[in-house]
């Protein structure tokens, strides 16, 4: 899972740093700008439209000169710098900006690199989130129509086995409820302007947006607490072992009503969900805290330095990632990474909710009452229930009565 997370970070850097650093690394022939007196020409415009890397040093350096026409008075000349020169210096960060407070963040007067983030959020992110959520819902509906509800195939015994203690269920529901609230408010923030605003109007949307922001920012702490709780309670039972190989080879018995591969307390599918929630949830939490405290916890400049040092971007032919990120750019990367992983978690959790409710008979009681039907346990977690029953039989009678 660590490799997957690292690969996702690398992919994000490679894809999203392209507009900031280099979209196309193919070498371009030298561009002769003598006909325009050193200014940009048609070839520069075409190269930018084709997302090619251009040498814009000629523009970066064109920020005026101290020598030139002298400034006479307020109505006279600007000396050696024109308005376009000044704004160009702002754009490329070469202007001598002085602020009384706010540090480097306040010194960024113009950040044209943020346009890629705005476009990505308004188009690509919307598309990915929409198709992912609709896609998983359609797949689950089709699976239910074809397979139906996974029933307890053997005769019910009427005996109950304790699966999760009260404190374990508290951790699960703290995480689950907080995640649902975060997912709903996050989706509202992403799609609200396009869907809710036209339907309810500006005033109603404004009230809902303020409430969604407050819920999202504060419920996040409950999510982090729940994440820590379930990790502490269940990590020891979620390490992969050889029984998972057989479970995966038999498809978990999902497609065969009479097949029940052996499993311990958690089967291979549950382990995948557990580690996905732990790893992706941790990453979402870290970027979320970074967004809660803007510009205080920069993450991606240092992350890209590590990837460059490991040689991963160079290995796939992208060259070194841009590490000289402005505070605004670092926040934009944090937002995109936060949203992408949150979307992935939403898809995973939707599948988890399905199998734990309408998809499988007897599954919900495990986190509902904490007890499961013994036959359900034998069919889905046979190795675990055998161990539990053996421990009960070996326990002193006095302890069993207590």
Same domain, 136 and 199: yes
User: Following DSSP, what letter does each residue of 355-372 receive, concatenated?
Assistant: HTTTTBTT-THHHHTSEE
Those residues whose C-beta lies under 8 Å from the C-beta of residue 240, and which sit 6 or more positions away, are 268, 271
Same domain, 100 and 222: no
Inform me whether the pLDDT recorded for 81 exceeds 50: yes
Same domain, 186 and 41: no
Q: pLDDT band for position 73 (50/70/90)?
A: low
Q: What is the pLDDT of residues 273-300, one digit of tens each?
A: 999 999 999 999 999 999 999 888 999 9
Check: CB of residue 339 under 8 Å from CB of residue 125.
Answer: yes
Token reading at 324: 């000289």
Average pLDDT over every residue of 173-194: 95
Name which of 199, 214, 16, 25 is nearest 118 in CA terms: 16
| Domain end position, chosen among 107, 132, 165 | 107
Q: What is the pLDDT of residue 227?
A: 97
Name which of 44, 40, 82, 47 is nearest 63 in CA terms: 82
Whole-angstrom Cα distance, residue 90 to residue 334? 24
Residue 17: inside a domain = no
Same domain, 352 and 287: yes
Phi then psi for 65, rounded to 5 degrees? -140, 150
More confident residue, 310 or 401: 310
Inform me whether the pLDDT recorded for 332 exceeds 60: yes
pTM over 0.95: no
Same domain, 79 and 149: no
Token reading at 356: 């734990």
CATH (domain of 154): 1.20.950.20
Same domain, 294 and 158: yes
Most confident of 61-65, 91-95, 386-390: 386-390
Inform me whether the pLDDT recorded for 13 exceeds 60: no
Same domain, 132 and 190: yes
Same domain, 74 and 52: yes
Residue 288: inside a domain = yes
The SS3 call for residue 373 is strand
Residue 15: inside a domain = no
| Domain end position, chosen among 59, 78, 107 | 107
Range with lowest mean pLDDT among 129-138, 276-285, 316-325, 348-357: 316-325
Structural domain containing residue 156: 114-401
Residue 7: inside a domain = no
Cα–chain center distance at 278: 12
Q: pLDDT band for position 16 (50/70/90)?
A: very low
Three-class DSSP labels, 112-162: CCHHHHHHHHHHHHHHHHHHHHHHHHHHHHHHHHHHCCECCCCCCCCCEEE
CA triple 199-205-209, angle to 5 deg: 140
What percentage of the chain reaches a pLDDT higher than 90?
A: 54
Same domain, 348 and 227: yes
Total of domains in the chain? 2
Residue 292: inside a domain = yes
């Amino acid at each position: 899972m660590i490799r997957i997370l690292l690969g996702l970070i690398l992919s994000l850097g490679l894809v999203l740093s392209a507009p900031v650093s280099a979209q196309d690394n193919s070498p371009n022939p030298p561009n002769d700008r003598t006909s325009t007196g050193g200014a940009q020409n048609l070839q520069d415009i075409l190269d930018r439209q084709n997302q090619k890397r251009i040498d814009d040093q000629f523009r970066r350096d064109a920020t005026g000169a101290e020598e030139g026409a002298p400034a006479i008075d307020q109505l006279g000349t600007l000396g050696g710098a024109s308005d376009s020169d000044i704004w160009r210096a702002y754009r490329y960060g070469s202007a001598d900006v002085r602020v009384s407070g706010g540090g480097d963040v306040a010194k960024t007067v113009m950040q044209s690199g943020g346009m890629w983030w705005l476009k990505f959020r308004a188009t690509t992110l919307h598309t990915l989130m929409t198709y992912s959520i609709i896609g998983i819902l359609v797949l689950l509906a089709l699976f239910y129509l074809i397979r139906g509800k996974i029933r307890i195939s053997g005769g019910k015994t009427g005996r109950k086995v304790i699966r999760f203690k009260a404190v374990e269920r508290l951790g699960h529901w703290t995480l689950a409820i907080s995640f649902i609230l975060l997912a709903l408010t996050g989706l509202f923030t992403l799609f609200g302007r396009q869907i809710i605003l036209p339907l309810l109007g500006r005033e109603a949307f404004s009230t809902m947006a303020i409430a969604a922001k407050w819920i999202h920012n504060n419920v996040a702490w409950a999510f982090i607490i729940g994440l820590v709780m379930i990790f502490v309670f269940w990590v020891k039972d979620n390490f992969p072992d050889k029984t998972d190989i057989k479970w995966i080879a038999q498809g978990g018995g999902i497609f065969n009503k009479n097949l029940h591969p052996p499993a311990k307390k958690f089967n291979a599918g549950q382990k995948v969900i557990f580690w996905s929630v732990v790893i992706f949830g941790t990453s979402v939490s870290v970027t979320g805290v970074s967004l809660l405290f803007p510009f205080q916890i920069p993450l991606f400049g240092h992350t890209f330095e590590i990837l460059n040092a490991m040689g991963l971007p160079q290995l796939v032919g992208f060259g070194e990632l841009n590490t000289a990120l402005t505070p605004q750019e670092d926040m934009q990367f944090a937002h995109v990474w936060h949203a992408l992983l949150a979307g992935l978690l939403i898809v995973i959790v939707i599948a988890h909710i399905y199998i734990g409710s309408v998809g499988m008979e007897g599954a919900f009681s495990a986190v509902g009452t904490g007890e499961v039907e013994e036959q359900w346990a034998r069919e889905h977690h046979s190795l675990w229930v055998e161990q539990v029953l053996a421990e009960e039989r070996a326990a002193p009678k006095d302890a069993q009565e207590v």
